Amino acid sequence: MADDEKNLDGPPATSSSSGATGSPIRSYVAIGDSFTEGVGDPGPDGTLIGWADRFAVRLAEARPGLRYANLAVRGKLLQQILDDQLPVAVAAAPDLVSFCAGGNDVLRPGGDPDKLAAEYEQAVVALRGAGARVMVFTGFDTRELGLLKLVRGKVATYNEHLRVIAARHDCTVVDLWAMQAVQDRRAWSEDRLHLSACGHERVALNAARALGLPTDEDPEAAWPPEAEQLSAAAARREHVQWAREHLVPWIGRRLRGQSSGDSREPKRPDLLPL
């Protein structure tokens, strides 16, 4: 048996794969918001795929019979995830939980990274207490992500808290901040807030490597050359169209206190075999 495969059954070989409980991974629950739901990565029938589904498939290849649930719902704030998804995940007692939350809070003017981190840690304690390995995700580096670069400092602060929490509770860290591949615009969907299918695939590879799953693909592989570059005028037109179709509706929902996830249910609420 290869060393990477052994790492799924026992203590991690390196700190980057920490969070082992000493038992095989036979069940996996994903909790979070639009990132984990898979927004930006629709399948042929319109059903969302996303990095978590892609990662689960890779995990199932190493662990046939893997049961998988995805409780994530777009637009959810951290406290909503703790109220609605965390109890379900704890009750399911899975072997592995991926936990990425707080991004929507950080985007809001009053989002406090220090307060969010304290709430996040309580959830990690509950998950670890239920016997689950926990995969923690840092936020992306937003320096090249349009208006999101305005919250870069808050994201960095939150990330540092998450790294400390992960070290304190022996969690696996999937470092999205360090990913260079997602600085390419092709990693993002048309709304510039969610990953594209290619971006989700890169994150799935990153998560697989963090957990010690064998994979030949490189999440940081160079993107192929683009066929053509947009002219300055075309780039301005594209930006205006993006603002009209995506930015203005997003701001409108915030002003009305609405969320894109209102009345939505998780796409995969039960632990079932893939």
Please compute the mean of the pLDDT values over residues 77-98 and round it to a whole number.
Answer: 97
Beta strands in the chain (DSSP E): 27-32, 67-70, 96-100, 133-137, 172-174, 268-273
The model's confidence at residue 26, banded by pLDDT at 50, 70 and 90, is very high
Report the C-alpha gap between 161 and 273 in whole angstroms.
34
CB atoms within 10 A of CB 212: 22
How many distinct helices (H) and strands (E) make up the chain? 11, 6
Torsion angle defined by CA atoms of residues 215, 139, 28 and 206, in that order, rounded to the nearest 10 degrees? 0
Please compute the mean of the pLDDT values over residues 139-151 and round it to a whole number.
Answer: 79
Assign 52 to helix, strand or coil: helix
- What pLDDT is stored for residue 189 in this prediction? 82
Find the angle CA(91)-CA(97)-CA(101) to the nearest 5 degrees. Answer: 105
Is residue 117 within 8 A of residue 158, CB to CB? The reply is yes
Please compute the mean of the pLDDT values over residues 194-219 and round it to a whole number.
Answer: 96
CA distance readout (Å), 89 to 30, 123, 127, 130: 8, 10, 8, 9
The model's confidence at residue 155, banded by pLDDT at 50, 70 and 90, is very high
Report the predicted TM-score, pTM, of the whole model to 2 decimal places. Answer: 0.84
Q: Encoding tokens for residue 168?
A: 């304190």
Q: Name the CATH code of domain 3-221+231-273 (choices 3.30.450.40, 3.40.50.1110, 2.40.50.140, 3.40.50.2300).
A: 3.40.50.1110
Please compute the mean of the pLDDT values over residues 20-48 and round it to a whole number.
Answer: 89
Q: Encoding tokens for residue 263?
A: 């009345």
Does the structure show a pLDDT above 50 at 196? yes
Strand partners, 134: 97
C-alpha Rg value of the chain to the nearest Å: 18
β 96-100/133-137 pair status: parallel
